[in-house]
Chains A and B, each alone.
Chain A
């Protein structure tokens, strides 16, 4: 059963999008302890820099956008072809996209893939 799953996912996507948008508005902040002292510090900084660039807020917001479109399309397929292959694929897709939220209090075990 996937009743409530699209709505659960849309709510999580909206939360994530809101958090990313709010965080983008924060004033720039300079960490008082960020101090590059050694080659190892520099390597650490480069690792973080790569992560920060790869997972920018723009990337997260783009992910939210495509995730919402996936959920909306899957909702349509479930509505119009619940017992066909399209509906079955849509259901599998929703179950997998919900996996990262498995610890959320509103997540239901019946949604596990």
Chain B
């Protein structure tokens, strides 16, 4: 291999590395990642449910989905959802994202809208792209 060819390969590798680093995260991938985080957070609580009840005197979220309150140094926390509800919802959302991703890539407006709406509750995440905001928002 001559030097020019090696330089060409080196430049190609550098360009590909830059392209990977600067590639925009796609909406379906962003959603799958956030849904996975939701599931992990819920599964961690679900796995500790019995111990939480005993050690903290706190009912696990599945028993009192809207009223769990934990106190530390006077801080009261309220939980909005039960772990079971979160896991069921996550499963439904994950399946839906996988179902409509092909149509989203083909540019179908229905698929685009569904994914954009599903992503809205995660709009505060640093990886959220404002271009995903549905046009009416």
Residues of A within 8 A of B (CB): 19-20, 22-24, 26, 28-38, 40-41, 44-45, 47-60, 62-63, 66, 69-70, 73-74, 77, 85-86, 89-90, 92-93, 96-100, 113
Complex-state Cα separation, A92 to B102, whole angstroms: 13
Complex-state Cα separation, A29 to B58, whole angstroms: 12
Q: Contacts A59-B121, A85-B108, A96-B96: A52 and B77 contacting too (C-beta < 8 A)?
A: yes
B48 to A47, Cβ gap below 8 A?
yes
Q: Is B18 an interface residue (CB 8 A)?
A: no
B92 to A96, Cβ gap below 8 A?
yes
Q: Contacts A51-B83, A66-B121, A92-B99: A23 and B45 contacting too (C-beta < 8 A)?
A: no
Complex-state Cα separation, A60 to B77, whole angstroms: 15
Contacts of B48 in A (CB 8 A): 44, 47
A86 to B110, Cβ gap below 8 A?
yes
* Residues of chain B at interface, number, CB under 8 A: 52
B110 to A90, Cβ gap below 8 A?
yes
B72 to A45, Cβ gap below 8 A?
yes
Query: What are 12 A-B pairs at a CB distance below 8 A?
Result: A20-B66, A22-B66, A23-B78, A31-B70, A34-B70, A36-B56, A48-B45, A59-B121, A60-B80, A85-B103, A90-B110, A92-B96
Q: Is B95 an interface residue (CB 8 A)?
A: yes
B38 to A47, Cβ gap below 8 A?
no
Q: Closest CB-CB distance, A31 to chain B, in whole Å?
A: 5
Most A Cβ at <10 Å: residue of B42, B44, B81: B81
Q: Is B113 an interface residue (CB 8 A)?
A: yes
